[in-house]
Amino acid sequence: MTALLDVKSLTGGYQDTNVVFDISFKIEAGSLLGVLGRNGVGKTTLARLVQGSIPSSVGEITLAGQPIRDLPAHARRKLGLGYMPQTAMVFDDLTVHENLHLGHNATPPDRYFDLFPRLAERLKQPAGTMSGGERKILAFVRAMSEDTQLIILDEPSEGVQPENIDRMAECLRERVAKGASVLLCEQNLNMLAKVSDCFLGLDSGRIMMTGTKQTTTREDLSSVLSL
């Protein structure tokens, strides 16, 4: 199987301070990698390095065989890299409809509106009138756009009610089944365990655990968050 995303010896952080060190991993096409670790271990930094909003100091990033480490974030987006950041996820003054279409060539399938009916109800309302959890769902659906081949999600479950987290997990599995690759940074073990094909545990900016869903137990995952 060919790796859609291939990260080799990636090191980077903010300004002169590196936060993640010598990170290497691959995500196959049609596979979901769950990244876990306590707060401050470098999950968000890793997501942003791959997405391109902060530059890496060392390493290689290849997307579908093309080196992207030196490309700006918008060029990576054009290559099919979707991203949902942890905060500041939607355009408050634009309507839900505008949020879903801005920057995307694909229309969200009706399936998402069935799973998250509030989006359909509020299509013509500014996103700023929605609750924090609803905005998070809107950002999630934006990131799930079908013109993406690699989706990076940073804590999508934060502030979302448990039923909707289950629906997010359902969407992820469906997208992965259709061939998309996902890099999911999460602290919610239930969600991670439910959707991940492989796991990458971080501690102090370095890889401290890897495994597949067949070889990794719930205790293994818990131990990464309890270090």
Q: How far apart are CA 151 and CA 143, in angstroms?
A: 7
| One of 158, 170, 174, 203 touching other proteins (CB under 8 A) | 158
Q: Is 95 helix (H, G, I), strand (E, B) or coil?
A: strand
Determine whether 226 is exposed, middle or buried from the number of CB atoms within 10 Å of its CB (0-12, 13-18, 19+): exposed
Q: In the range 7-66, which residues lie near other proteins by CB under 8 A?
A: 14, 17, 38-40, 44
- Quote the distance between the C-alpha of residue 221 and its chain's center: 18
Size of the site for other proteins (CB under 8 A): 36
Binding mask 105-124 for other proteins (x = CB under 8 A): -------------x---x--
| One of 143, 160, 176, 195 touching other proteins (CB under 8 A) | 160
Is residue 137 near other proteins by the rule CB under 8 A?
Answer: yes
Q: Is the dihedral of CA 138, 114, 169, 83 positive or negative?
A: negative
Residue partners of 158: CB distance under 8 A and separation at least 6: 86, 136, 187
Q: How far is the CB of 49 from other proteins (least distance, A)?
A: 14
Q: Decide the pairing of beta strands 81-84 and 66-67.
A: unpaired
Q: How far is the CB of 137 from other proteins (least distance, A)?
A: 7
Q: In the range 60-89, which residues lie near other proteins by CB under 8 A?
A: 86-87
Q: Which residues bind other proteins (CB under 8 A)?
A: 14, 17, 38-40, 44, 86-87, 118, 122, 125-126, 129-134, 136-137, 155, 158-165, 187-190, 222, 225-226
